[in-house]
Amino acid sequence: MEKNVLVGKTIKTVYLEKSGDAIKFVLSDGSEVTARADGDCCSHTWIEDVIDPEAMIGAEVLEAENIDLPEHLQTPTKHDHFEDEMEYYGFAIKTWRGVCTIAYRNSSNGYYGGSLNWPGDGYYGGVFDQNGKGTDWKLIGGVE
């Protein structure tokens, strides 16, 4: 398994696309890394929550990996997304400051799943115009 593109980098600022379709990390060197929520055919994936984003601000990323989302974070959705069968996913970003957890979800008829795709990963391309332009960003950690 290849290490995530954030490992060894220092995150300065984090933005969440307001629809939950993507999360953008601005690194200390000014470069940007965007991860996109991607749903398989006939499903929709989105980022539901980012828990403790300040744990990753200004500290070198030591680990960044998919995790089983703890049960207490598998709660009814806050967003206005169609829900049929819900799958719950997690991604942990660990620094010396702590752990930031990205909780993301997939809604489908039960046969499809979703992922959080990083630069270099295969990308399905989104369903129902998911992940269009990704231009409506909301600051969730760090300073602009």
DSSP letters for 72-90: GG----SS----SEEEEEE
Residue 109 has pLDDT above 80, yes or no: no
Residue 128 has pLDDT above 90, yes or no: no
Spatial CA neighbour of 34 closest among 100, 121, 110, 99:
121
Which pTM value belongs to this model? Answer: 0.85
d(CA 46, CA 38): 8
d(CA 67, CA 80): 25
Residue with the bigger pLDDT between 83 and 126: it is: 83
d(CA 39, CA 55): 28
d(CA 136, CA 120): 23
Residue 80 has pLDDT above 70, yes or no: no
The pLDDT confidence band at residue 131, using thresholds 50, 70 and 90, is very low
Residue 67 has pLDDT above 70, yes or no: yes
The pLDDT confidence band at residue 129, using thresholds 50, 70 and 90, is very low
d(CA 37, CA 44): 9
Residue with the bigger pLDDT between 12 and 74: it is: 12
